[in-house]
């Protein structure tokens, strides 16, 4: 049993409510032993199954990013040695087991319900598979999210084709529309489109994972689908950026990551200043 816990903190919201941030160096299939609660939102960045082509269109394939220097040690390698072990069926089994139940009553007319949601980041080619797996596990409805970048990793193909500058995700839910919070700083409801700007993090957020999602992007999604004090679960937590986003927004978050190296870096770099970050938002 590997139970290396990176962060285990309680944040006091008021006299009755605490927020807990916990990242566990273990597989999500072993979650039962940690007695984590059910979640209002499950958010995950699943392996894209790029295999040995992970860096194929990226300058990092070559030494110093220049093909004149020959191939680097990253040429012909994958991002992770665990990609091929990822079992999508088991992943959805876990997620649907730990999602909150749907409320029995529908939301008021013109408002969403308090039903839970699941957000899965995936490759464009994986979207049909994610939707199919969701339906097999009772997540009957879905809609896509598109994140638009002003850059592309496909530099080596820039003179060959239109390069991809988007990231994709799917929102999955059972039947009732999930909790939806679209009130802006002006106190008014705002229409939220299914595309978002891919806002890079600044230097205050360390880059410790090759497919790390920006904390800024995660915070936008978490604010839309949850309230303060709600629970979020990230079954494949990687760098811990989801946990940091939740901590800064006063949401409880439980993350699982099987690679000890990523957990260690998350503890020492991503999550070491949670208290300082939280104080900004209190």
Q: What is the per-residue pLDDT across 201-222, written as a single tens digit (0 to 9) for each?
A: 998 899 988 889 999 999 999 9
Average pLDDT, stretch 134-148? Answer: 98
Q: Which two tokens stand for residue 152?
A: 């592309």
| Average pLDDT taken over every residue of the chain | 85
pLDDT value at residue 229: 93
pLDDT digit string, tens, across residues 18-64: 889 898 999 999 999 999 999 999 999 998 754 445 455 656 556 76
pLDDT value at residue 211: 84
* Interior/surface letters 238-272, b for 16+ CB within 10 angstroms, e for the rest: bbbbbbbbbbbbbbbbbbbbbeeebbebbbeebbe
Residue 139 CB neighbours (<10 A): 24
Rounded to two decimals, what is the model's pTM?
0.86
Q: Does domain 4-49+86-276 have CATH number 3.30.70.1450?
A: no
Q: What is the DSSP letter of 115?
A: B
Could you tell me what percent of the chain has a pLDDT over 70? Answer: 79
pLDDT value at residue 83: 60
pLDDT digit string, tens, across residues 77-132: 555 666 667 899 999 999 999 999 999 876 677 678 899 999 999 999 999 999 99
pLDDT band at 9 (very low <50, low <70, confident <90, very high): low
pLDDT band at 272 (very low <50, low <70, confident <90, very high): confident
């Amino acid at each position: 049993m590997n139970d290396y816990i990176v962060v285990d903190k309680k944040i006091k919201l008021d006299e009755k409510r605490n927020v807990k941030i916990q990242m566990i160096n273990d597989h999500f299939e072993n979650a039962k032993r940690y007695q984590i609660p059910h979640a209002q939102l499950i958010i995950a960045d699943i392996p894209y199954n790029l295999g040995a082509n992970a860096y194929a269109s990226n300058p990092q394939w070559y030494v110093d990013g220049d093909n004149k220097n020959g191939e680097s040690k990253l040429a012909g390698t994958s991002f992770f040695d665990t990609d091929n072990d990822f079992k999508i069926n088991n992943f959805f089994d876990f997620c649907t087991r730990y999602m909150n139940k749907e409320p029995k009553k529908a939301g008021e007319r013109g408002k969403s319900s308090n039903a839970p949601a699941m957000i899965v980041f995936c490759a464009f080619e994986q979207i049909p598979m994610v939707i199919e797996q969701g339906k097999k596990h009772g997540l009957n409805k879905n809609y896509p999210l598109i994140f638009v970048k002003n850059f592309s990793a496909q530099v080596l193909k820039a003179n060959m084709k239109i390069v991809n500058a988007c990231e994709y995700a799917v929102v999955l839910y059972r039947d009732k529309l999930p909790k939806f919070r679209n009130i802006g700083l002006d106190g008014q409801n705002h229409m939220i489109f299914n595309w978002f700007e891919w806002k890079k993090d600044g230097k205050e957020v360390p880059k410790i994972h090759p497919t790390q999602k920006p904390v800024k992007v995660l915070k936008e999604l978490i604010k839309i689908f949850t309230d303060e004090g709600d629970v979020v679960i990230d079954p494949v937590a990687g760098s811990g950026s989801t946990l940091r986003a939740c901590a800064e927004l006063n949401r409880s978050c439980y993350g699982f990551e099987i690679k000890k190296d990523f957990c260690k870096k998350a503890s020492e770099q991503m999550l070491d200043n949670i208290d300082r970050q939280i104080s900004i938002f209190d």
